[in-house]
A and B are shown apart, each in its own frame.
Chain A
Amino acid sequence: MKKNSLISIWKNIFRIRYVEEKIAKEYYKGEMRCPTHLSIGQEAVPSVLDQFIQKTDLAVSGHRAHAHYLAKGGDLKKMLCEIFGKENGCAKGRGGSMHLIDRSVGFAGSTAIVANSIPIGVGIALAKKLKKKKDIVIIYFGDGAIEEGAFYESINFAILKKLPVFFICENNFYSVYTPLKYRQPKDRKIHKMVKGLGCPVFSTDGNDPFKIYEKISAAVKKIRSGKGPIFGEFYTYRHREHCGPNFDDNLNYRPKNDLKYWLEKDPLISLEKKIKKKKMIFLNMKNEKQKIINEVNEAFKFARKSKYPSYKITTRDIYAKKN
């Protein structure tokens, strides 16, 4: 990995973490009034992917989309305004935390129903192919989405039509409180099953930027070459409750050992350790952090200052007038 890439990956991870921690810290104030699924612990995959994609490559995601949106370059202020329900939110305050969009950077939308945006991504990919574009489409989803019919129907179509789709499954082993073993056969690996569908697959540690880098670099190249979709399974872990700002491991739904293992593999802390160990003192980390902190604090201020939409919603708001 090049030095510049490493710096930029670290910055991405730190920035997403800082945003999410601040949301968590301030959620209790009751200004961010919507179901909010934080990405803390799961920042690495989108942060690395950012190295290999351009604005013309489009991404879609689900309920846990903050990291995907931010790493793709989505406007932070607009995201916060959306979570605060303000008029300059990226979805004009109509969607909340689960409905993010920033077309200007190729973040094509996140939606709130499990597996619901997977076919949308495949449709976008079909359009890219029909238009003979070299762009690829990234579809983010969790281990729970694998259980919905829409996943199979969509990936089958993507394989059939050799569409330029990067299916990214962030397997954090849980769907809300329910562990994978209550939902999917114990000895079956998701990526191996998908291989059986006829899609090239890989799996890797989703908290280790170096491993992710290697896998993604090859995958994106291949998808771009027009050979069809690839499915990547990334093992990772969410630190806080499924939905909301708190820790909930007092409920004992996750084995203590797993929790310890994954907290030690915190993508931010372990990357910073590695950077230090490798004596890659390539930047004034403290300064860089401060810059990000200032930017994020500024964005929060902006969201707080912004106005609620004050107009009355009418049917004018639900039908398009022109293409």
Chain B
Amino acid sequence: MQKKTKLITMSNAINEALHFSMKKDKNLLCFGLGTTDPKGIFSTTINLEKKFGKDRVFDVPASENALTGISVGLSLEKIRSVVSHQRLDFFLLAMDQLVNNAAKWYFTFSQPVPITIRLIIGRGWGQGPTHSQNLHSWFAHIPGLKVVIPSNPRDAKDLLISSIFDPNPVIFIEHRWLHEMEGNINKKTEIKKLDNLGKCKIIEKGNKLTIVASSYLVHEARIALRYLKKFKIDCELIDLRVIKPLDWKTIEKSVKKTGNLLVLDTGSDTLSFASEIISSISIRLFQYLKNPPVKLTMPDIPEPASYGLTKGFYIRPKNIAEKIIKILNIKDGNILKLIQKEPNPHDIPGSWFKGPF
């Protein structure tokens, strides 16, 4: 029997989603800085122009704000677009068109605005304070936007397709450190409704504690859990996948079962998405909680560029395991002895990364 799945990198999965969607919707446009250049936005937009032509796939001036508004205007004429930005930070120039138009148009004028905005988050290799910001909670704070944060190739492909065919503005956030990560995706491609597909996913089943994570941290949490399993500490790991609208049910069900909650977040601490989860769960499920919920977030500090300053800066499996052990009040001091330390070098996702961004 032929296998129904295939192994593929996340950037290739995104590329497949774009090819599929452009074929399905003959009006769909794909644009953004670098879309048609030889590097094709970290290989995600490769061959689109060749296949679908210059009218539908094109590079643009460095005009993030206007182009966001332009994608809104296009959508009002029933032309959807995917607009890509090589860093989330560059898209900050577009806050007016995003927040005041894209997010508000349907509310005020009852006209849908189907646009998908791809934002890539940088980390390490001296990205520094303005090439590494994890601002997903900002976008989730704006009524009218949907926010998708895939952690693996399968979700990246399926959720991107769902985002593109959703009748609303969707912010689709890709962590740069995930682009070369491989995973299995279904060979068969179909369009599913984002609201149905975009549920939280239980990555590991467990009974002692619920861990909620997204994006790159799902992988760090898995390493921590695999390690702790050897000590019979079994936790449940939930991948958020879509943070707005959020599938509260899956999280609540899990917390009711475990009575313990740890939330991981790539964003900085104050008003983080982790804070939102903890506050809502505490309000709703106070009586189920055996211990105070805990969040493990990035500090309220911009990411520095220096190799020296990013040492120990990120959330690693060891930090996650430490929190778990503390929440569960496990006293055995030897448990953490062998857990993987921060890799050396710590500022690249793997040897495939050759810089410079």
Contact = CB atoms under 8 A, between A and B. Distances in A.
A253 B38 contact: yes
Nearest to A177: B37
A220 interface: no
Contact of A113 (B34, B125, B130): B130
Contact of B128 (A95, A114, A149, A317): A95
Contacts of A35: 125-127, 131, 355-357
Q: Chain B: interface secondary structure? A: loop
B20 interface: no
B107 interface: no
A322 to B, nearest CB: 20
Contacts of A86: 306, 308
A183 B356 contact: no
A72 interface: no
B306 A148 contact: no
Interface centre among B64, B65, B131, B305 (most CB of A within 10 A): B305
Contact of A176 (B34, B93, B131, B355): B34
B236 to A, nearest CB: 32
Nearest to A184: B61
Interface in A159-201: 175-178, 182-184
Contact of B299 (A89, A95, A145, A313): A313
B355 A182 contact: no
Nearest to B37: A177
Interface residues of B, number: 43
Contacts of B306: 85-87, 89, 93-94, 96, 308-309
Q: Chain A: interface secondary structure? A: loop
Interface in A286-323: 307-310, 312-315, 317-318
B197 to A, nearest CB: 34
A120 interface: no
Contacts of A87: 306, 308
A87 B305 CA distance: 11
Contacts of B37: 176-178, 253
A313 B309 contact: yes
A53 interface: no
A115 B129 CA distance: 17
Nearest to B305: A96
Interface centre among B59, B64, B126, B311 (most CB of A within 10 A): B126
B332 to A, nearest CB: 28
B160 to A, nearest CB: 23
A36 B356 contact: yes
Given A35-B131, A183-B60, A94 B305 contact: yes
Nearest to A142: B62
B125 A34 contact: yes
B51 interface: no
A176 B42 CA distance: 14
A243 interface: yes
Interface string B346-357: 010000000111
B300 interface: yes
A120 B43 CA distance: 35
Contacts of B58: 182
B125 A149 contact: no
Contact of A318 (B34, B61, B301): B301
B278 interface: no
A194 to B, nearest CB: 16
Nearest to A315: B300
**9 tightest A-B contacts by CB?**
A308-B308, A34-B126, A93-B306, A96-B305, A85-B306, A177-B37, A147-B61, A96-B126, A183-B61
Given A96-B305, A149-B63, 15 more contacts: A33-B307, A85-B126, A85-B305, A85-B308, A86-B306, A93-B309, A99-B305, A114-B90, A147-B61, A175-B62, A177-B38, A178-B34, A243-B357, A308-B306, A308-B308
